[in-house]
Structures are given as C-alpha cells and as structure tokens.
Amino acid sequence: MKEKDNDSSKKSSLMTRRTFLKGGALTTAALSTGVLGAEVGEAHLALEDYPSALKRATVTLKVNGLRHRLEVEPRTTLLEVLREELQLTGTKKGCDRGQCGSCTVLLNGRPVYSCLSLAIEAVGKEILTIEGISDGETLHPVQRAFVQEMGLQCGFCSPGQILATVALLGKNPSPSEAQIRQALAGNLCRCGAYPMIFKSVQTAARLR
Amino acid sequence: MTLEEVIEREGYSVIGRPTPKKDGWIKATGEAKFADDLYFPGMLHGKLLRSPLPHARILHIDTSRAEKLPGVRGVVTAKDFPGILYGDFAHTRDYLPLAQDRVRYIGEEVAAVAATDMDTAEEALDLICVEYEPLPAVFSPEEAMQPEAPQLYDRAPNNIASKSEFHYGDVEKGLAESDYVREDTFETQSMKQGMLEPHACVGLWEGSGKITLWSCKSSPYVVWRHLAMGLGVDPGNIRVIQTYIGGSFSGGKQEGMPMDFCAVILSKKTGRPVKFVHTMDEVLVIGHMRHSMKIRLKTGVKRDGTLVAQHCRIIANGGAHASIGQLSIFLPGLGLNLPYRVPNVQMESYRIYTNTGFAGALRSHTQPQICFARESQIEMIAKELDLDPVEMRRKNARAGGDVTPSGFKLGTFGFLDGLDRVIEASGWREKYGKLPRGRGIGMAGSGMISGARLMSHSASSAQIKIREDGTVALMTGSADIGQGADTVLSMIAAEVLGVRVDDVTYAMIDSDVTPLDPGAFSSRVTLWTGNAVKQAAEDARKQLEEVAAQKLKADPKHLVFRDRRVYVRHDPQRGMDFASLVRSTQNRLGHPVMGQGSYTSGDEPIAVQGGYGNASPAYSASVVVVEVEVDEETGHVTLAGIWNASDCGFPLNPMAVAGQSMGAFTMSMGQALYENLIRIEGQVMNPSFRDYKMPLIVDLPKVENVHLFDIITNDPNGPFGAKEAGQGPGDGVIAALANAIYNATGVRVKSLPISPSKILSGLEESRSNKP
C-alpha cells in the first residue's frame, strides 16, 4: 500500500483517509484513556485483516406488535434496522453516537437510544417506535399533547421526546417537575422548545 | 394596547390567537419525511472524502483502486465539474463543488463516491489516494493579517476576506467632548448551528438533462442558483424540492453544498439517484458556524450617562471561505445604531481568511456578539459613573420615528415598553444589588431588523389557489424550518379570506412550482412573505367579491368574509357559503380564483461595505432580564428566571412567537455558558455533542419562572402590524447572563463562553486582590 512507503524526506505526503482516521482515532483514544495500550493498537488493525464477510444472523424482532424475520449482521444497530430494513423512518438518525436522543425508541417500555443498541440485543423484546403508538388516526395522548402545546418546532427530535415521555408516564403517571426534567434530559431540542415540551408532558399526564 | 384589545378593535377571527403548528400532527407521528427519510428504487449512497490537512496543494488524486471496488458505481473529483466558482456576493465568491488544486481547511471536500451501500462507499474512500504538498497554514486572524502570513487567496491581500467600514458624525470629536471614555476588548467563540438533522440530499440527473435535488433546504431558490452556477447549467434544468427540515439556523441548509453537487453529478455518471447524508462528526467539522470575533469597543459618555460616541473595531475569523461573510461583517454595524441614540459612530470590521472551517450566518447573524460587547460595557460604564444601568439605558433608548446615523428608519420601536415590562415583572428594583452573594440579576437590550434589504434578491412572492370545496392552496418560496412559517402565513391567508387555518394548505417549496422567494433567513418571513401572502389573499378575495356582490346585490365594500361565509356587514343573514361562492365563480362563471401577491421594500441599494440607508422595512426591540445562581465552589451557573420582552409588532400567532422567543433565548444561552468549537492547528477537537455541549431541558429554569412578553407596536410596514420574532429575543441574552454573573459574583468575564473555570479564576483573582 502506498501509505506504507511514506518517506519523511519527501516533501509531499501521501494521504489516504485511513491514515488520517487512524491518527485521529489514536489521538482520541490517548486523550480519553491517557495511555496508548496494546488494545488500542490491536483495535486499529487494518480492516483487511478481518474476515471479509461478517456472519449474518437471522433474528425475529417484534416491532410495534408485528414480528419481522430479518437477516442482520451482529454489528447492525437497531436504528439501522428500523430505518433501512423496515423503513420506519420516524425514528431519526441525528448524531448516531448516543448524544442527541433523536433515535429514542422503547424496549419493553424503557427508552433506549436505538443508535447505541444492537439489533440482535432487541430479540425477544417489545420494540415500540413512534409509528406504533397511535391507534390508527387517533393520536396517543402524548402525541396529542405535543401537538396542542406545540412541544415541537422543526420536529426532528419530536419522536424521541414523545417516546421518552411515553416511557416516563408509563411508569409514573403523575411525575413531578424534577422527574419530567430528568426523564427528558437525554433528548436535545436545538429549536429550544423546552418549556413547551415540559408543558406537553404535563398536559399528556392529564390527558391520559 | 393589549392583544385582546387589538383583536377586538380589528375584528380578527384568526390572527392573534394561539395556534399550534399546522404540521404538528405529521411531526408527532413520525410521518414527516426529512431528507434522509427518502428512499428511491436503485438509489446509491454517496460519501465525501475530506482533506486531512489545513492547507495543501493537491498534486494528484488516484481514484483507480476505489473505482475497482465491487459495489462502487462512481467516483468524482474536481475534474468532473466545470471549475466555476459559486456563492453569493460576486466579488467574494470562492466555493467550488470539490477542491480543485488546493485545500484550505481540515474537512474540505476533495472527492466523492457513490456505491450500492454506505459501507462500500466508506470503504471506497479509503482506497482513494491523494498526494498533497503541505503548505504553511495560519489559524488566527491576527496572524493571518500580518504581511508575512500564508495567503489563502490571491485576491485577498493580508487575508482580508471582506470588510465593512463606516463613520457617521465625528467620533474623534465626540470622544474628546465626552466626560468619560471606556475601551474594552471582548472575545467571542466559534459556535455551531447544532441542528439535530444532519445535512442530507438525494440528487437525480435524468437523461433528458433534468436535474432534481430533494433536500432539507431553508432557501431552496438560493440552492437552485448555486447549483446552476457551480454545474454550469441552465437554471431552468434544475429543480430543487424541499423536504421537511430538521432545524436550519443557517448551518449550510441555506445554500448549495458540496454534497448537493456531488449527488447530482454522481447521478449523471451512474444513471441512478444518489443520496448523501453527513454524519454528525462531519457536520461539526465542516464550515458553517458563527464567526468568532475580537471586538474592541470604545465608548464616550457624558457624566449623566448620555452616549456621545462609539468606535468599534472587529476582527472576525472567517475561516477558509467567503461564505456570506460580506454581509456578516456589515451586520455588526446594526448593533451600533440600535437600540440606543449614539450620534457619532464608527466601525471598522474585518473578516479574515484562516485555515479553519469557514464561518457564516447563525441565528441572529452576528448580533449576539455585538450585543454582548455593548451591553456588558454599558453596565461597566454605569458602575464607574455610579449610574443606574436601567436609567442609563432608558436615557439613551431609541423610539419609533427615529432615524439612526446610518439611515435606519425606525417606524416603531417598543424598547421602552419592553424595558418597563421586564423591570416590573422581574422585581428588578427589589433584587438589583440586594440579592445574597452568589445570586444575581442582569439585563440587556437589543434591536433587530425584520429582513435585510441588502441582497440582490430580497422580494417575496406568494400565490393562492382556491379549490372548489373552499379550501385554500397557499404557495410561497419561504420554507418552514420549524419557525412556524407554515402556520403564520396560513393564518394571514385565512384571516383575509374568512376561512379557518385548517382550510389552508401550505406547500413545500419546489422551484418548478412555488413562487420565487429568497427563503427563510434574516428574520424576514413573517414581514416580507407575510405581506406577499396578504396581498395574494386580497387579490383572490377581490375576485370573489365581484361575484358575491352581484349574487347578494350588495356593494363589494360592505361584504364580510368570515367563518367560511360571505355576508353583508349590516345584514349578516344576507350571505352565502364561501365554498359555494367559489364554485359559482370558478365552475359556472369560469373564473378560476387565483390570487397573487408580492412584497419588496424599495429598491435603492445599500452597499454592504457600510453604506448609508434603511437596512430593513422594520426594526424590533428586545429587553431581557435573567436571574442566576452561581456556585462559587464549582463556578456552575444555574439559570433561575427569565423575563424577555420583545416588540414583535403584533403577535400573529402568540404561540409561535413564544416558541421563537425561547428558541432564540436558548441558543444564546448555549453560546453564553457552554458552547465552543475548539480547534487546535485547524483540527476540530470536539466534533460530537458529548464534547460540544448544547442546552438541555434541565438547564432551563422552571416553567413558572420563564416569562415572555409581546410588546405590541403594530408596525405600519408589517402584515397586520407584525415584525420579526425569531432572532431579536436572543440578541441580548449573552450580555444579560454576563451582567447577572457579575452581579452575583463581582466577576466580569469578557470572553465567551463564560465557563466555570473563568468564573473560578475571576473569583480567585478578586480574593487575592483583597488585602
């Protein structure tokens, strides 16, 4: 590979994206762990060294009450399966790193970031997405509350906010002010509709 | 006048009433299709290769290995484009779809691939080999201005990308005649728009030459122009179709981006639709961010606090491209003309090229920065002169009817009303200087334009078609980006035509179909597009009035359109159903009811280099008070209360105005306290929302401590008196927080963000200064 015959005496540098990424990843690892241990080195073995085809697993996922038989790679996230395989695009891909909350879905009633959950981990669990909470054209009370109180602006974070609220009210029908804030602390809203989101949750608690 | 009094006096049936967003249902169910939610048969997935170096010559790009990878359908580099620069201001235009022979920042787009799936596309990027010759790079604007610094562009000596200079009155004389002169330097940081939806698009180039781009664009017509420019094709061949937009804040969705060009050119190459979606790391690494600024502000005042002269010098980090920097560097001048009467003002502002991601607009384009400087300094001056900061602001405040030194004509300007409201509501008099240590209250004032009259294309247009069932199809060129354009514009049409908001459908923007409009930015939609919609609705109503007058044997002047009926004012029984009137007009008489309207605000030009003239048809004023609690052990700031008064002219949709006001507030709060795009040698060090911190629900005060006030001034230039509401309410927030933190701790922080460490070192310093 060209990148391997890098010669420091040459004025020009040959760069591929991988050498760039490796440098970046190592720096990040060094920053976060403070050491450059053997595992870090191993983790950055060239991709070519891994088997070319990762084994696919056949799994059954129960999404919004319906069973889907799917072939997935073990590394595939639940978010990818929902969006790419099942075309349930109501679950949004924001940061894809578990930092924004746009991809929140419920697993057995608990809110999870679907971008940080593997599809194979969801086997045997009830997966609930935004598409599964209304009853036909009748909105779920939480959805109704978000619409009425305008707990949304651009709407990108709304499916996540709504599902986080459904989860909260599922286990705590009359949450305190602090409990509401805590339950939604993992869902960013860059439009800054927070007070309206807060009121939506309160209204939803009343509507239920 | 109160909201209710205006509604009563004017007899409004739709506007002025809190109305939830029209697209709430589709967004709450997840049915709204954002750009990444689009899937087409045979669609390919694209990825962009980015420069790993801050400044380098591209010697050679070898794409052969990538092309051979199974699943790869196409690879493109700059050679696939005609090499035409695109962008906004002709004299600063410097974008290319892909870097041609030089890269100027880490993250700049160099090549693109399209493959059958995303993994293959990523793998293909690894196989592209780019030979670079590194060039010396420069990262700080001050260094970049030095004569020996590396030059980014031949056309820009000393790396001055753009500048704006003006001088009204005589600042030197003013300063000499002042009793007190104060000079401070304030520094603001780079900040990202932080929209949660990454940029995404699908491009299709058909054999016929028709080019279609589906994308989350807040200004589809700007993109339409950019695409035509950079591709070197006839604009008539290009169609830009807007999808739902997951936040814009001018983070790139307002213009043509490399991904858009690559999607369509790769579609041409492969014969398939091609989708591109940025990862969030990419979004945070590439350009589009708020300018970081060094603001040197010198202000002269009389002993009683009367402002006499103000001199401002700004150096802004523009990054590697011009973007709309010519406008960015003109706009801080607004801050020197609003909201106070300063007879002598001078500004020299420079936007400097550096080898970092480029800066451009971000919600309230440069205003929060200049307000931070001015409103912090006013507070310091008041303290020095032992004046009440509220009274000092009151003494200098502008009012409706004023003309500023640079020629802004303030029709209405509710600054003093706003000031009174927040002072009273916040209990300022009982709190200022009387709160326990660690607790503080602060305020700031600001002014904002309702749409700049500075672009070559400023005018808005609107069309209305009435269907036979009495429902109204409204089309404009202003995208709904979450701000509520769909609802407020529909409300205007519904009010004029006497139908319900639900009877009006608001079209997504499609450059083949919807009327021309520059788009959603500059706080322009409600006033500019709103006026166009009002006119279009009046045009349609007039067409119906003629028929209704004949049918009801009445004077058209006496007809009332209300509640889906048309009737005679003094005899409401004499009337008819709106839908049957439409059917008679259209289906029997053969007059299709189609209204059109447009709005512009004069055509005398203003030079963005700092020219004299009226920058906008209307100006809004905001005054904000915040109360904070500062933990002196950790430096952590807790926001305890917000009182924000904004003169939106008239709140057509009070619910959306509140949403906008909070949105602007929250974004500025993020800039004040948390956000900072950290770059070392041009490398973004925190390209994730874990490390780039934005406000969360837990950072806001309890709802009962959030108080928003609409100041009603009924601006004669606004549709039903309305002005902007989406940006002004955030302008003073940073300064208000800085002032409150000072009030709580005695620590004055003049650089952003006001991080806990800065507060702690300030506290440390004040402790060590004590005997």
Give the sign of the dihedral formed by CA B738, CA B744, CA B748, CA B753. Answer: negative
Contacts of A2 in chain B (CB under 8 A): 129
A9-43, pLDDT tens digit by residue? 444 555 555 444 444 443 333 333 333 332 333 33
Same domain for A75 and A40: no
Give the sign of the dihedral formed by CA B526, CA B411, CA B713, CA B534. Answer: negative
B596-635, pLDDT tens digit by residue? 999 999 877 787 777 899 999 999 999 999 999 999 999 9
Whether A73 maps to a domain, the answer reads yes
Residue of B491 and B337 predicted with greater confidence: B491
B659: helix, strand or coil: helix
Rounded mean pLDDT of B126-145? Answer: 98
Using an 8 Å Cβ cutoff, are B450 and B619 in contact? yes
B518-528, pLDDT tens digit by residue? 999 999 999 99
CA distance A142 to A154: 18
Residues of chain B with CATH 3.30.365.10: 3-32+459-599, 292-453+607-769
Q: Which of the listed residues A87, A104, A131 is the one where a domain comes to its end?
A: A131
Sequence letter at residue B529 = T
Whether A136 maps to a domain, the answer reads no
Whether A18 maps to a domain, the answer reads yes
Whether A69 maps to a domain, the answer reads yes
Question: Using H for helix, E for strand and C for coil, what is the string for B487-525?
Answer: HHHHHHHHHHHCCCHHHEEECCCECCCCCCCCCCCCCCH
Whether A2 maps to a domain, the answer reads no
B212-240, pLDDT tens digit by residue? 999 999 999 999 999 999 999 999 999 99
| Chain A residues 14-33 within an 8 A CB cutoff of chain B | 14-20, 23
B662-673, pLDDT tens digit by residue? 999 999 999 999
Instruction: Supply angle C-alpha B718, B723, B726, rounded to 5.
Output: 150
B282-339, pLDDT tens digit by residue? 999 999 999 999 999 999 999 999 999 999 999 999 999 999 999 999 999 888 889 9
Q: Does pLDDT of B39 surpass 80?
A: yes
| Contact state of B27 with A152 under an 8 Å Cβ cutoff | yes
Question: Mean pLDDT of all residues in chain B?
Answer: 97
Report the residue from B277, B659, B688 with minimal CB separation from A193: B659
Residue A153, min C-alpha distance to chain B (Å): 4
Rounded mean pLDDT of B651-675? Answer: 98
B528-539, pLDDT tens digit by residue? 999 999 999 999
Same domain for A202 and A160: yes
B509-520, pLDDT tens digit by residue? 999 999 999 999
Instruction: Supply angle C-alpha A122, A73, B200, rounded to 5.
Output: 90
Residue of A20 and B458 predicted with greater confidence: B458
| Contact state of A156 with B659 under an 8 Å Cβ cutoff | no
Report the residue from B690, B694, B697 with minimal CB separation from A198: B697
Please list, residue by residue across B700-739, b when 16 or more beta carbons sit within 10 angstroms of its beta carbon and e when fewer do: bbeeeebbbbbbbbbbebbbbbbbbbbbbbbbbbbbbbbb
pLDDT value of position A14: 55
Contacts of A87 in chain B (CB under 8 A): 39
Same domain for A68 and A42: no
Within chain A, residue ranges assigned H as helices are 17-33, 38-43, 78-80, 141-148, 158-171, 177-183, 194-207
Whether A99 maps to a domain, the answer reads yes
> Which tokens go with B230?
């950079």
| Contact state of B132 with A15 under an 8 Å Cβ cutoff | yes
Contacts of B27 in chain A (CB under 8 A): 152, 155, 158
Report the residue from A11, A143, A150 with minimal CB separation from B659: A150
| Contact state of B30 with A131 under an 8 Å Cβ cutoff | yes
Spatial neighbors of A139 by CB under 8 A, at least 6 apart, are: A147, B25, B28, B29
Q: Does pLDDT of A53 surpass 70?
A: no
Same domain for A190 and A170: yes
Same domain for A152 and A110: no
The predicted model scores a pTM of 0.94
Same domain for A185 and A155: yes
Question: Mean pLDDT of all residues in chain A?
Answer: 82
pLDDT value of position A15: 53
Same domain for A61 and A22: no
Q: Does pLDDT of A120 surpass 70?
A: yes
CA distances from B622 to A109, B77, B220, B523, B709 (A): 44, 48, 30, 14, 10
| Contact state of A147 with B659 under an 8 Å Cβ cutoff | no
| Contact state of A12 with B663 under an 8 Å Cβ cutoff | no
pLDDT value of position B611: 83
For residue B18, name the pLDDT band (cuts at 50, 70, 90): very high
| Structural domain harbouring A30 | 14-49
Same domain for A162 and A104: no
Q: Which residue has the tokens 């728009």?
A: B193
CATH code: domain of residue A82: 3.10.20.30
Same domain for A109 and A172: no
Q: Which of the listed residues A112, A131, A150 is the one where a domain comes to its end?
A: A131
Same domain for A121 and A90: yes
Lowest mean pLDDT segment, chosen from A185-189, B204-208, B455-459, B503-507: B455-459
* ipTM for the predicted complex: 0.97
Using an 8 Å Cβ cutoff, are B200 and B277 in contact? yes
> Which tokens go with B162?
């753009």
Q: How many CB pairs under 8 A join A and B?
A: 210
Q: Which residue of B has its CA nearest to A129?
A: B30
CA distances from B569 to B573, B585, B714 (A): 9, 21, 25
Q: Does A58 touch chain B (CB under 8 A)?
A: no
Q: Does pLDDT of B363 surpass 70?
A: yes
**In the sheet that B706-712 helps form, which strands lie side by side, from edge to edge?**
B439-449, B619-630, B637-649, B706-712
Return the closest-CA partner of residue B519 out of B219, B188, B253: B219
CATH code: domain of residue A183: 1.10.150.120
Whether A70 maps to a domain, the answer reads yes
DSSP state of B244: B
Same domain for A121 and A184: no
| Chain A residues 163-192 within an 8 A CB cutoff of chain B | 177, 181-182, 184-185, 187-192
Check: CATH 3.40.50.1820 for B3-32+459-599? Answer: no
pLDDT value of position B337: 86
CA distance B672 to B376: 12
Using an 8 Å Cβ cutoff, are B466 and B504 in contact? no
Number of folded domains in chain A? Answer: 3
Same domain for A81 and A43: no
pLDDT value of position A36: 31
B575-584, pLDDT tens digit by residue? 999 999 999 9
pLDDT value of position A54: 62
Percent of chain B whose pLDDT exceeds 70:
100
Class of domain B292-453+607-769: alpha beta
A138-165, pLDDT tens digit by residue? 999 999 999 999 999 999 999 999 999 9
Report the residue from B27, B659, B664 with minimal CB separation from A158: B27
Fold of B35-135+198-245+253-285: Aldehyde Oxidoreductase; domain 3 (3.90.1170)
